[in-house]
């Protein structure tokens, strides 16, 4: 059986474990700094397996030795946003946490693929990349599936068409500068602008960009966890089943989309090696400008982080 270790057994970590257990694709290790909590959640989840008929091992632990030999390490440890905070406000605290847990997991799972969820996402991917020295194929971030899924959900609400028919592509950094590509998005092959009036489409784009903040504002004590964790489970499945699935993923770009040496959300093909390929779309000038300003924002964040860590 494959093995996935999830670092951070909070809302996103434990919900990721739940989605993964239902898929029966790997044994699961939930790790947290809080004692007892990951053990309790894992045992509770394990005791639900007979009900849903899935044979997977789920353990909770505070000891990184239990994560040894993982095929995938998912990093969710860190603080979530509170109302009024941007993802960027979390940068220093979460960078220290992410660096620490990366060192501990990488020491015992040198062959793992790392998937990062902790925010600010693109900068935290950089921390894992720098800490491990792994090739870019094996350090990726989850943001784009989530942002695209939010847009798909809003398009489904607007059109009344099944979510299965809706394809949306949101690229760029995971923040307010993200780039929802309306021209490439479609409902069963029909471009969005042929389905949805311009002002309604603009409202969907705006709601997508602010999608995370909308949930934070409602929850008040944390940030979204169902959709982010479902997105991670999809990435894990694509990797372990060697699916060659193309999904928006934060990848360390080396010139694609005119972006260099920076983690940035782009369509990437995922298989057992991690990132097999970055897919490049034809963009018009307006889209290129949006990509550029989103990349500039992520770069500023990474620069700020480098300053804070210096």
Q: Walk across the sheet containing 274-278 and list its strands.
A: 58-61, 27-31, 3-7, 72-75, 113-116, 139-141, 245-254, 260-271, 274-278
142 to 201, contacts with ligand APR by CB under 6 A?
Answer: none
Residues 19 to 58 in contact with ligand APR, rule: CB under 6 A: 32-34
Is position 81 an interface residue for ligand APR (rule: CB under 6 A)?
A: yes
Kindly state the smallest distance separating residue 140's Cβ from ligand APR, in Å: 15
Q: Least distance in Å: CB of 308 to ligand APR?
A: 16
> Exactly one of 67, 70, 76, 152 binds ligand APR (CB under 6 A); which one?
76
Give Cβ neighbours of residue 197 (< 8 Å, ≥ 6 apart): none
In whole angstroms, how close is the CB of 29 to ligand APR at the nearest point? 12
> Judged by CB under 6 A, which stretch of 40-48, 73-81, 165-173, 286-294 contacts ligand APR?
73-81
Adjacent-strand bridge partners of 116 = 75, 141
Number of residues that bind ligand APR (CB under 6 A): 27
107 contributes a contact to ligand APR by CB under 6 A:
no
Residues contacting 196, CB < 8 A, separation 6+: 155, 158, 159, 204
Binding flag, residue 101, ligand APR (CB under 6 A): yes
Does 108 help bind ligand APR (rule: CB under 6 A)?
no
**Is there binding between residue 141 and ligand APR (CB under 6 A)?**
no
Applying CB under 6 A, which of residues 4, 6, 11, 91 lies at the interface with ligand APR?
Answer: 11
Which residues lie across from 31 on neighbouring strands? 7, 61
CA terminus-to-terminus distance, the chain: 41
- What are the tokens at 221? 């004590």
Q: How far apart are CA 122 and CA 296, in angstroms?
A: 12
In whole angstroms, how close is the CB of 290 to ligand APR at the nearest point? 23
* Cis preceding linkage at 120, omega within 30: yes
Binding mask 218-257 for ligand APR (x = CB under 6 A): ----xx-x--x-----------------------------
For ligand APR, which is the closer residue by CB, 2 or 86?
86
Cα 166 to Cα 172: distance, rounded to the nearest angstrom? 20
Work out whether 295 is an interface residue with ligand APR (CB under 6 A).
no
Q: What are phi and psi of 42, to 5 degrees?
A: -65, -40
Helix residue ranges per DSSP H, the chain = 11-23, 37-46, 49-52, 91-108, 121-132, 144-159, 198-209, 211-219, 226-240, 285-309
Is residue 297 part of the annotated active site? The answer reads: no
> Phi and psi for 230 in degrees, rounded to 5?
-60, -40
Q: Judged by CB under 6 A, does residue 80 bind ligand APR?
A: yes
CB nearer ligand APR, residue 172 or residue 291 = 172
Contact range with ligand APR by CB under 6 A, out of 94-102, 238-246, 253-261, 274-282: 94-102
Crossing angle (nearest 10°) for helices 211-219 and 198-209: 60
CB of 137 to ligand APR, least distance (A): 23
Instruction: By CB under 6 A, name the binding residues for ligand APR.
Output: 7-13, 32-34, 76-78, 80-81, 90, 94, 97, 100-101, 117-119, 222-223, 225, 228
Which active-site residues does the annotation give?
174
């Amino acid at each position: 059986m494959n093995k996935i270790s999830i670092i951070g057994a909070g809302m996103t970590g434990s919900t990721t474990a739940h989605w993964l257990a239902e898929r029966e694709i790997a044994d699961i290790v939930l790790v947290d700094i809080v004692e007892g909590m990951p053990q309790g959640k894992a045992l509770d989840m394990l005791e639900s397996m007979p009900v849903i008929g899935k044979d997977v091992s789920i353990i909770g632990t505070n000891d990184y030795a239990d994560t040894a030999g993982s095929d995938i390490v998912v990093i969710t440890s860190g603080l979530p946003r509170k109302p009024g905070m941007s993802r960027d406000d979390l940068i220093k605290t979460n960078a220290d946490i992410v660096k620490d847990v990366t060192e501990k997991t990488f020491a015992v799972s040198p062959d793992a693929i790392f998937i990062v969820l902790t925010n600010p996402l693109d900068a935290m991917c950089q921390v894992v990349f720098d800490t491990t020295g792994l090739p870019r194929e094996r350090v990726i971030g989850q943001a784009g599936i989530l942002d695209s899924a939010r847009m798909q959900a809003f398009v489904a609400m607007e059109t009344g068409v099944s979510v299965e028919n809706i394809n949306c592509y949101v690229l760029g950094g995971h923040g307010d500068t993200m780039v929802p590509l309306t021209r490439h998005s479609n409902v069963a092959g029909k471009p969005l602008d042929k389905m949805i009036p311009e002002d309604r489409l603009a409202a969907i784009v705006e709601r997508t960009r602010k999608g995370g903040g909308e949930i934070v504002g409602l929850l008040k004590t944390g940030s979204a966890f169902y959709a982010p964790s479902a997105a991670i489970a999809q990435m894990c499945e694509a990797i372990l089943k060697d699916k060659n699935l193309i999904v928006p993923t934060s990848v360390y770009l080396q010139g694609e989309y005119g972006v260099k040496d920076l983690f940035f959300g782009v369509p990437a093909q995922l298989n057992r090696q991690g990132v097999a390929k970055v897919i490049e779309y034809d963009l018009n000038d307006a889209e290129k400008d949006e990509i550029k300003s989103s990349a500039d924002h992520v770069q500023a964040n990474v620069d700020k982080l480098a300053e804070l860590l210096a």
